[in-house]
Structure 1
């Protein structure tokens, strides 16, 4: 089915010269650039060390993450924490996020 209108996109919500992750986080909380936010309870923004050398990027937040507003705290988060512990990586050296900040409609209960 062809688009009847051009998707808005997130460009208008992204600050032109963000100076911090906190500034981007605040902008993401107000973003309505796509339909993903329609069924989400909140934005699930990344967390961790801003200058981390190791970044884990998931596909999308799950329902647990959506309810709490934090990435990787549900079942995938438990698996990630085990893997990080097994690898001997200090969690303080990581940044974890998802490629999108809302739970897609097909994933909501």
Structure 2
């Protein structure tokens, strides 16, 4: 099963940083936009898996937009700074059947 989360990638001159407004605490970085997308997908899937393993509810994909106010004279964003906002499809964790592993027992021969 998959879900599409809104993600925001911010270019700051040397690399991208990314986050999803719906999945608090999950962030990633990447030198290029394709690398950023790959890293963010891995970060989201890992974060959701940890939440699932801990029994926490998975966040719904609710965000539809993000707002930035760069009209102010004192904008904190330097020239060349830009954002990419898109939906990123990730695979949701599912219950995996754990296979029982049999321990091998070695018998020792008396010398």
TM above 0.5, yes or no, is no
Which has the bigger relative contact order, CA under 8 A and spacing at least 6?
2
The structure where helix makes up a greater share of residues is 1
Q: What TM-score, normalized to structure 1? A: 0.29
Q: What TM-score, normalized to structure 2? A: 0.29
The structure where strand makes up a greater share of residues is 2
The structure number with the bigger radius of gyration is: 2
